[in-house]
Chain A
């Protein structure tokens, strides 16, 4: 049995066909497949990376928006507090002003009352003097010579009363 001696015919065909198959596959077969596999690997890695980056960016945006919200709330609080203060100030000022003007009015009223009173008193005095003169004329029955002199006297008398 010549199982251990290679047959030249089979050797010839084997070299030929293995060579052809190797050439075909190494040129048009395997490089295409391996390239596609590697490209897909890269693509998957890239996708994972970009997904991770997108997630990170999303988290950053979320944080930023929270920050913004917090800032807005703080600002709002500040504005409200400021407005309250302003309101109180305005109210206070209005009250003060009202007080001042009320006092002014009261003072004016007091003054004018005083003046009126004086005038009324004076009128009363004048009337009384006239009345007294009239009475005195009637009582005496004659007209006094010096009107002004008489009037002065009477006024002095009234003052003493």
Chain B
């Protein structure tokens, strides 16, 4: 609540300032540009990594680098729309969206996370294969073992109980995926910086996998408790009130997972960006103002980054433990 209020205040403050110096700096555009996906990886002024665009239409597949479309240029009839429903996305000459599976900034970040995750976990597995169980791990392996064992025993076993072994690899994957994405998102330079877990497509996919894990392996009793729950007959016979509520509940659980992760991470990014923008906004208000506000901004930024570090862990943990609890609920008699 406090955080939402803060975002609101900062956004209003940002708008108020930008209306004054519109031609110099537009804070909200800047923030939303950072939050949204983009076709190239903008590191700093002049240092832009072009990423491949892959567009599928009835005519076939088009593959080209994104620097062909820089500054509103048109390439093979494609250009990046500036406004409307498809603002910031590639559209064809008729203004329609092709099926766009370009390697955007978020997709590249996704690949980085996946490669990191695979190499770390498979490397760990190789360590265990080589050393067996007779050697005690230390350092990084020991840390990862603590995390994996924590998810296996304290989250999966505790929440699901009997038969938890089937679900613990999924819970570990989702925990490490979200955690790695969150942490990389906090990095301001190249390997990080993309707003992956603050993107609804990513959190939606995570939640859909959770939905599958919850519902597709549930026993018969679970479906009976949804469509014919153990309540007085008038609550379910002529008008299926309880079954309707239960049925909606099946979908609200993963939906809440989607929104919670998305909103938390996005809000964190907005706050940090807004606090950073304070420096540039106050640049036009004279040296004293700018200097004092810079100190405040940097202090707040440090504080918010520490908080976001905490949030990165908490949100990964919350997503995992809630999924585990939902699976456990589905499997309890």
Chain A residues close to B by CB (< 8 Å): 1-15, 17-18, 20-22, 24-26, 28-37, 39-40, 43
Contact = CB atoms under 8 A, between A and B. Distances in A.
B36 A25 contact: no
Nearest to B199: A10
Contact of B122 (A2, A20, A28, A43): A28
Contacts of B148: 30, 33-34, 37
A30 B123 CA distance: 11
Counting chain B residues whose Cβ lies within 8 A of the other chain, the interface size class is: 35 or more
B183 to A, nearest CB: 16
A50 to B, nearest CB: 15
Given A22-B169, A34-B168, 17 more contacts: A6-B204, A7-B89, A7-B199, A8-B100, A9-B104, A14-B202, A17-B110, A18-B209, A22-B173, A25-B118, A26-B170, A29-B125, A30-B125, A30-B148, A30-B172, A33-B148, A36-B133
Contact of B36 (A1, A8, A17, A31): A1
Contacts of A29: 118, 121-122, 124-125, 169
Given A6-B204, A10-B202, A18-B177, A30 B132 contact: no
Contacts of A14: 110, 201-202, 205
Contacts of B204: 6, 11
B117 interface: yes
Contact of B133 (A17, A24, A39): A39
B152 interface: yes
Nearest to B120: A29
Interface in B111-151: 111, 114, 117-118, 121-122, 124-125, 128-129, 132-134, 136, 145, 148-149
B101 A3 contact: no
Given A5-B200, A13-B101, A17-B114, A33 B173 contact: no
Given A6-B200, A18-B177, A33 B170 contact: no
A116 B87 CA distance: 165
Contacts of A43: 133-134
A5 B88 CA distance: 13
A35 B132 CA distance: 10
B125 A7 contact: no
A14 to B, nearest CB: 4
B228 to A, nearest CB: 33
A3 B117 contact: no
Contact of A21 (B101, B118, B132, B145): B118
A32 B127 CA distance: 10
B85 interface: yes
B251 interface: no
Contacts of B101: 9, 12-13
B99 A8 contact: yes
A10 B106 contact: yes
B290 interface: no
Interface in B238-286: 266
A157 B122 CA distance: 150
Contact of B169 (A7, A8, A25, A39): A25
B101 to A, nearest CB: 5
A25 B129 contact: no
Interface string B208-229: 0100000000000000000000
Among A11, A15, A39, max chain B CB count under 10 A is at: A11
Among A9, A29, A34, max chain B CB count under 10 A is at: A9
Given A13-B110, A32-B128, A37-B145, A25 B152 contact: no
A21 B173 contact: yes
A26 B125 CA distance: 11
B224 to A, nearest CB: 29
A3 B262 CA distance: 10
Nearest to A5: B200
B35 A10 contact: no
B173 A37 contact: no
Given A6-B204, A20-B114, A25-B121, A37 B152 contact: yes
Nearest to B141: A33
Among A4, A6, A39, max chain B CB count under 10 A is at: A6
A17 B111 contact: yes
A43 to B, nearest CB: 6
A6 B200 CA distance: 6
Nearest to A17: B114
B118 A31 contact: no
Please give me the 10 A-B residue pairs with the lowest Cβ-Cβ distance, nearest first. A6-B201, A40-B133, A26-B169, A36-B128, A29-B121, A39-B133, A32-B125, A10-B201, A30-B169, A14-B205
